[in-house]
Homo-oligomer: A and B are copies of this chain.
Amino acid sequence: MVGNGEKKAVILLSGGMDSAVCLAIARETGYNIYTLTFDYGQRNRVEIDKARCLAEKYGSEKHLEFGLDLRKIGGSALTDDIEVPRGISQDVPVTYVPARNLIFLSVAVAWAEVLGAGSVFIGANVRDYSGYPDCREDFLKSFEKTAGLGTKKETKVSVKAPLIKMSKAMIVREGRRLGVDFSVTSSCYDPDDAGAECGTCESCRLREKGFVEADR
């Protein structure tokens, strides 16, 4: 517990279910929260709106939408004209966005340094699925150390990933305990123009699996 709520944290908020639960955890722990959402040229535009709703709902002190067009870098089905695969993969899938969390965490640390915030929260989790290298705990630990070396001496930013060891089902249960309204989240990699989820991409499948197993 942080206690008097004086402590600040930057929350990486994608608008998906994981970061929503992560936000709720940070809020419950007593942080003053600053939410950060990236418009990186992702196919799923709905999640940016969902993130904004979540930020408001959870009383974010400031919600920052930060633009950086990763389509210029390319290399991912989430940003490029590469087909989004269906089902759950074993290896690093084409939906991996090169170095995305490295970039997002770097911007979060920059903002934390300016705000004087001691923590950055990220909804990374690997139990159901560890295909993305930038969601793993050893990466996050190493990043924290690097960020400490690359910022002012007095800047100490802790990278917190409270969901890291949770399965999707555990995330759903934790979210329910905290009263997270999952309808204000969007996980789909490839929604239609109206924002409706496809139901067949990896992210939709994992989400569905989480809800099914949470009810068992």
Q: Which residues of B contact A184 (CB under 8 A)?
A: none
Known: A114-B98, A150-B139. A106 touches B109 (CB 8 A): no
Identify whether the interface residues of A are mostly helix, strand, loop, or mixed.
helix
Q: How far is the CA of A150 from the CA of B111 in the complex (A)?
A: 21
A83-122 interface (Cβ within 8 A of B):
92, 96-103, 106-107, 109-111, 113-114
Known: A67-B68, A72-B66, A107-B73. A102 touches B139 (CB 8 A): no
Inter-chain contact B142/A113, CB cutoff 8 Å:
no
Q: How far is the CA of A97 from the CA of B111 in the complex (A)?
A: 11
Choose from B97, B102, B136, B151 the contact partner of A134 (Cβ within 8 Å): B151
Choose from B69, B75, B149 the contact partner of A136 (Cβ within 8 Å): B149
Q: Which residues of B contact A99 (CB under 8 A)?
A: 106-107, 109-110, 113, 147, 150-151
Offer 7 A-B interface pairs, CB within 8 angstroms, sorted by A.
A67-B68, A68-B68, A73-B114, A98-B114, A99-B150, A102-B110, A133-B150
